[in-house]
Amino acid sequence: MTATDPALTVLASGWGALSLLHGKIEAHIERALQSGHDLSVREYSLLDVLSRQHDGPGGHLQMRQVADAVVLSQSATTRLVSRLEDRRLLSRYLCPTDRRGIYTNVTEAGLKLLEEARPTNDAVLREALDQAAANPELASLVEAVEAVKSPALSH
């Protein structure tokens, strides 16, 4: 393959369109969450992921799993957890079965803020996808996003 190979050009175009769609959606949601709830997209995502934990087997996430879920490095995730802990939206505690493990839970204040912010996130996401669908370069990507089934819904 050469740099001018049509297959590479198509891949680069597809990647560029995907990157553009992601950037547009994230910027749209970021503005709405910041102005309406004093939350960044990453903070919202972290609260959302951690709010889904439960006390059953495998119900609590280790920091590595949290980092993967919010698409950040472990160190960036730890800093984000610390910031939200300072705002009293998260709390950390030692794992009862492994004293080396530290779990993070969403506090009542964090759950309340997440509940208030969720309709904003969902509405702005829908709006951003609808706007992107009107762009011929992005329409097929929007269709692909909308076709993805939630793991909870596919069982």
Beta bridge partners of 70: none
- The phi, psi pair for 55, rounded to 5°, reads -85, 0
Which backbone phi and psi does 93 adopt, to 5 degrees?
A: -155, 160
In 3D space, the residue among 121, 40, 52 whose CA is nearest the CA of residue 83 turns out to be 40
The domains of the chain, with CATH numbers, are 9-138 (1.10.10.10)
CA distances (Å), 153 to each of 24, 54, 62, in order?
A: 27, 18, 24
pLDDT in tens, 80-136: 999 999 999 999 888 777 777 788 899 999 999 999 999 999 999 999 999 999 999
Average pLDDT, the chain: 89
Question: In the chain, pLDDT over 70 holds for what percent of residues?
Answer: 92
- Dihedral sign from CA coordinates of 58, 105, 113, 29: negative
The pLDDT of residue 152 is 55
Structure tokens at 100: 């080396």
User: 49 near 61, Cβ under 8 Å?
Assistant: yes
Q: Which neighbouring-strand residues pair with 93? A: 103
Neighbours of 82 (CB within 10 A): 12
Contact 117, 33 (CB under 8 A): yes
